[in-house]
Structure 1
Amino acid sequence: MPGTAESDAPKTRAERVLEQRRGLPDSPGVYVFKDAKNKVLYVGKAKSIKKRVGGHFSKSHVRGEADMLEQTDRIEFVATETETEALLSEQEFIRRLRPRFNIRLRDDKSYPFIAISLDEEYPRVYFTREKHRRNRAYFGPFSNAKKVRETLDLLGKVFQYRTCEGKEPGRLSGSPCLEYHINRCQAPCIDVITKEEYRENIDTIIAFLSGRYRQIERELTESMKLAAADQEFEAAAGFRNRLRAVRSLLERQRVANETVGTLDAIAVAAEGTDANAQVFQVRDGVLADRQSFYLENAAAHDESQVLEEFVLQYYASAMAIPPQVIIPRGLTPDPSLAAALSERRGGAVEVRSAERGDKRRILELAERNARLALDQDRLRHEHRRNRLRAVRSLLERQRISNEAVGTLDAIAVAVEDADANAQVFQVRDGVLSDRQSFYLLNEAGREVEDVAEEFILQYYASAMAIPTQLVVQRGVGEESALAEVLAQRRGGPVELRHAERGDKKRILDLAERNARLALDQDRLRNERRRTARIDALEGLQD
């Protein structure tokens, strides 16, 4: 960091931090809390670094922030000219340093985008998790990969773009693919459509993904009328069908009058170290997308701070920022937030609450969804913890007191016809740390031993760690080099054994019972589905 507020190191951590606080400037900038190992704990921004840092240490703290301050051993800063510059710098530091106590998207996964390869003569429209290639248009990020693929499927039906790989369209055979014959592609590979016409189609897709729906309706209507005037009735019918499809989609998703225009309604719900953010994207009065993001809130920030940090992170990767962002009443983000978004957009951005009308109704819907998503997520986590406690309790009741189980994985497989289930009980230092269930296909009708050996090889091909001991069913690995293969992957010996008595035998028996029970339940569900489909078909015949 360019600036550091410190003098001769005092004897205690508290004295060192106090000395550094005294040297902080009374000006805009970014400050960084670090621990004794020089690891970044938190990045913040302020109109006055000195006053903001002092506020951290003077007010009463929730547990998360108290933990952060107890670990803080060093305070660094970067002074900026304006508060807006500090806000943008803060987000760059958060993105690069990934501090634990800042708001973060849970799992830090790469969110999906829709990309358009404008650097190719006949651009492709495709799914991606990267957005670094030049001369390509990206739309997103989206929180749900399934919804992205559904959007691409819809675009293919309505606008018929090419899906073939490579810069040039078509196949080596020179004949069009199935997509052309089912009206999902306009076959630029055999010149059914010209380069200019295909580009116009891509421009329409870009307008659709950008939310310019009224523009699309006007252009399709005009193209239909021009084609009809030129007596190109087949082309006119194509534009008419496309116009109907677009209007039908928009009417189903219309949530407000067109005068509402284009905006994002953003709401957050926070409880303890968990938070959820909802983004409702409204374009020309149509709900273009709804996205849900689960957030890590290790410092237990209030909802105003969660909202501010999320908005900046979200629009740092978003391809477009709307002219208006609606936020809940009572949340007061820093005034520099609108200035920072305006600078990124290259135009004015208004950040405000909605008092009445359609905008208020959309925001209330986002608020309800945020709270519901957070409650459901916390409930799922609680259910997982309860299931794990129940299994641990059962294991404890079956434990033989003086036997040290140690660290191992107990793996059991149940097989019936073409179905199979595998259970993995992970025991660490004598404690059941996790239980995993896997449904398997056994179309070749192999024996339990063969299915178990193939599953074990696949499971530990992706597992982060292989324990020194595997407890398996009798017959598994006896006539194969399974133990040697696992030892080679682990880089150390792996013992493959069959437990005859004691805790290890009881753990394996429990895994076997769970595998059989899971397999029976799965087959029962499948049988009910088949019966329901047969009843439905018979009802149609009647």
Structure 2
Amino acid sequence: MASKHIQDKLALLPESPGCYIMKDEKGKILYVGKAKVLKNRVRSYFSGVHNNKTTKLVSKIRDFEYIVTGSEKEALLLEINLIKKHRPPFNIMFMDDKMYPYIEVTGDNDFLVRISRKPNHKKSRYFGPYPNATSAYEMVKLVNQIFPIRKCSTLKKQVCLYYHLHQCLAPCVKTIDPKENEAIRAQVIKFLKGDMDDVIQKLQRRMEKAAEDLQFEKAKELRDQIQNILHIKEKQSIDFSDTLSRDVFGYYEDKGYVSFYGFFIRDGKLLERTLSITPIYEEVQDAFTSFIVQYYQTNTKPKEILVPKETNVEALEEALDVKVRIPERGEKKKLVDLVIKNAKEAHDQKFQLIYKKDQELAMAMQHLSRILKTPIHTIEIFDNSHIQGAFNVSGLVVFEDGKPNKSQYRHYQLDEYRSDTDSMKEVVYRRYFRLLKEKKPMPDLLVVDGGKGQIHAAQEIRDSLHLPFPIVGLVKDEKHSTRALMLENLEEVPLSKEDPLFFLLTRMQDEVHRFAIEYHRKLRDKSMTKSILDEIPGIGPARKKELLKTFKSMKRLKSASIEELEQVVPKEIAKRVHASLNPAE
């Protein structure tokens, strides 16, 4: 039964398209949806019977807002932007909003073949997207092995090992005939488009010649390259009668979860496929449409998109400005059917694992709520890291319903040479005073990675700020493994290693420790490089960056000869760097 507050707002809903925003008791956004008619769609949440997943969402709703738009297209695009901005826990988000990699053939005369996440250079030629980044990197590696093309992002002053291996024409010191460069570029593009037969035959002849000359290592290397090419070619085995770029999407829903599947076809070849499986709290057609539009927020659009029947084609075409088809027959219909079949098979294979993981998380959160006698959804945990008081830092990680929310992670650089309890007081004060000042919601629980001392330190600050959330500590055994929860009254609650709560707390502890250590190392390394390189005359930010990029670490930079340093900086500067890093020589 909806509250009077919600009933009053439902009566005011307009019969217009728009977006609605569902919120919990703390004002946190739970879900963002779109509707052709706001009045009908929003009212449906508070009437009738829902499935278990939707019931879970509705049970948390305490308020809602809505935004009227001029059309369904505007509502769809607004919904996507609101999802990206607020990342509501009950919305489906495409691949954590990551951009897929592309293979770029640069437009330079001495061109590069490399991975690119942003296909926006007008002179470059792009191939992709590759939902499997490993495939993209493998392809780039193969191209750079087979073709004698430039490998270095910055041209050096002398030839490198690739030239001596006959894998580069050395544009760094030689003038390459533009016609030869263009011929090689054409071969590379032909290869990346999937026409690999000429390259395979050429490698086959070279392999046979190497074997005849008893160069068995070389023959084996060439054989491995041929097998890698054949493996890639086999994965692209779907041939089309045309070479139109098209993407094909399908889905399969069962037991409150949905699997989305996609094929990406370029130049008539199946370039790659991708899968996402997730719980669903909304109408599957709405989720499917949102999923596709989100994908094209960060990836290039093809000439044509193929989708199964009942998809909202008009909304997709308006939002994407691309031809969207529901094929009825022929090879396109077979392709859509194949995508749906793949979605079902992948769903059946992965469902039990995903379902078990979700159930264990739910059990862990329920156990924690029972222990503390209050509902727990958002947990924050701190961990400090330092070396004898120096480089004193703290990391904060946030888990919501048992899952990490990395957008809420925070680093803190603390005053040095302070005790662990004083550091805990400082970071707790800084965190929650800021939340109070910005009027942001507080967590349901604060976990400190320690016992009595850490709990008392956190309690002192919490109480001084008049905050309501409970605090617990993690008690370790002799192997530094969590064996119990310590409550604020210092009572210990033992944890069995078979308890899902044990695994959740261990994961949180590992995650916050990793996060704090990562920041600690970053500050320490930055301090080391600053104390040495920044004091050398002639080394500014650009040269410092280039030195660290070339030699990767201070250890390798210190062991570099003057001649090696000269490849990055002028001779006089190289001598200064070498003398500063090796004062005893």
Cα distance, 1:287 vs structure 2: 0.8
Residue 142 to residue 259, structure 1, CA distance change in 2 (3 Å): closer
Give the equivalent residue in structure 2 for 1:364.
Answer: 337
Does structure 1 retain, via aligned residues, the 8 Å contact 2:94–2:295?
no
Give the equivalent residue in structure 1 for 2:263.
Answer: 280
Give the equivalent residue in structure 1 for 2:308.
Answer: 328
Mapped partners of 1:435, 1:407: distance in 2: 13
Structure with the bigger RCO (C-alpha within 8 Å, sep 6+) is 1
Give the equivalent residue in structure 2 for 1:55.
Answer: 44
* CA deviations over 1:385-428 (Å, ceiling 9, x no partner): 9999xxxxxxxxxxxxxxxxx9445576xxxxxxxxxx967655
Mapped partners of 1:57, 1:205: distance in 2: 59
Cα distance, 1:100 vs structure 2: 1.3
1:256 is aligned to 2:244: no
Paired residues in the alignment total: 369
Give the equivalent residue in structure 2 for 1:148.
Answer: 136
Cα distance, 1:70 vs structure 2: 2.5
Does structure 2 retain, via aligned residues, the 8 Å contact 1:269–1:277?
yes
Does structure 2 retain, via aligned residues, the 8 Å contact 1:263–1:325?
yes
Mapped partners of 2:185, 2:78: distance in 1: 36
Does structure 1 retain, via aligned residues, the 8 Å contact 2:103–2:136?
no
Mapped partners of 1:93, 1:387: distance in 2: 30
> Which piece of structure 1 moves more, 260-269 or 185-194?
185-194
Cα distance, 1:196 vs structure 2: 7.8
Mapped partners of 1:362, 1:165: distance in 2: 40
Mapped partners of 1:89, 1:278: distance in 2: 24
Find the partner of 2:151 among 151, 156, 163: 163
Does structure 1 retain, via aligned residues, the 8 Å contact 2:247–2:264?
yes
Report SS of the residue matched to 1:276. Answer: strand
Report SS of the residue matched to 2:89. Answer: coil
Find the partner of 1:176 among 147, 152, 160: 160
1:83 maps to a residue whose letter is E
Give the equivalent residue in structure 2 for 1:373.
Answer: 346
Does structure 1 retain, via aligned residues, the 8 Å contact 2:109–2:181?
no
Does structure 2 retain, via aligned residues, the 8 Å contact 1:339–1:349?
no
Mapped partners of 2:191, 2:359: distance in 1: 46
1:292 is aligned to 2:275: yes
Cα distance, 1:25 vs structure 2: 2.2
Mapped partners of 1:409, 1:377: distance in 2: 34
Question: Alpha carbon RMSD of aligned pairs, Å?
Answer: 4.5
**Structure 2: unaligned runs, 5 residues or longer:** 199-224, 362-472, 486-492, 521-585
2:264 maps to a residue whose letter is Q
Give the equivalent residue in structure 2 for 1:8.
Answer: none
Mapped partners of 2:76, 2:511: distance in 1: 45
* CA deviations over 1:247-287 (Å, ceiling 9, x no partner): 99657723133237432121222334533222111223211
Residue 203 to residue 78, structure 1, CA distance change in 2 (3 Å): farther
Give the equivalent residue in structure 2 for 1:314.
Answer: 295
Give the equivalent residue in structure 1 for 2:545.
Answer: none
Does structure 2 retain, via aligned residues, the 8 Å contact 1:270–1:302?
no
Give the equivalent residue in structure 2 for 1:126.
Answer: 114
1:340 is aligned to 2:319: yes
Q: Normalization by structure 1: what TM-score?
A: 0.56
1:188 is aligned to 2:171: yes
Does structure 2 retain, via aligned residues, the 8 Å contact 1:260–1:359?
no
1:64 is aligned to 2:37: no
Mapped partners of 2:43, 2:511: distance in 1: 50
Mapped partners of 1:189, 1:20: distance in 2: 70
Give the equivalent residue in structure 2 for 1:24.
Answer: 13
Mapped partners of 2:285, 2:178: distance in 1: 50
* CA deviations over 1:460-511 (Å, ceiling 9, x no partner): 8943689xxxxxxxxxxxxxxxxxx9xxxxxxxxxxxxxxxxxxxxxxxxxx
Mapped partners of 1:61, 1:386: distance in 2: 20
Alignment of 1:235-254 (within 5 A): 253-254=236-237
* CA deviations over 1:130-160 (Å, ceiling 9, x no partner): 5498778876654323222112223324555
Residue 139 to residue 357, structure 1, CA distance change in 2 (3 Å): same
Residue 72 to residue 284, structure 1, CA distance change in 2 (3 Å): same
**Structure 1: unaligned runs, 5 residues or longer:** 1-11, 219-241, 343-347, 389-405, 413-422, 437-457, 467-484, 486-542
Find the partner of 1:430 among 494, 504, 527: 494
Report SS of the residue matched to 2:172. Answer: helix
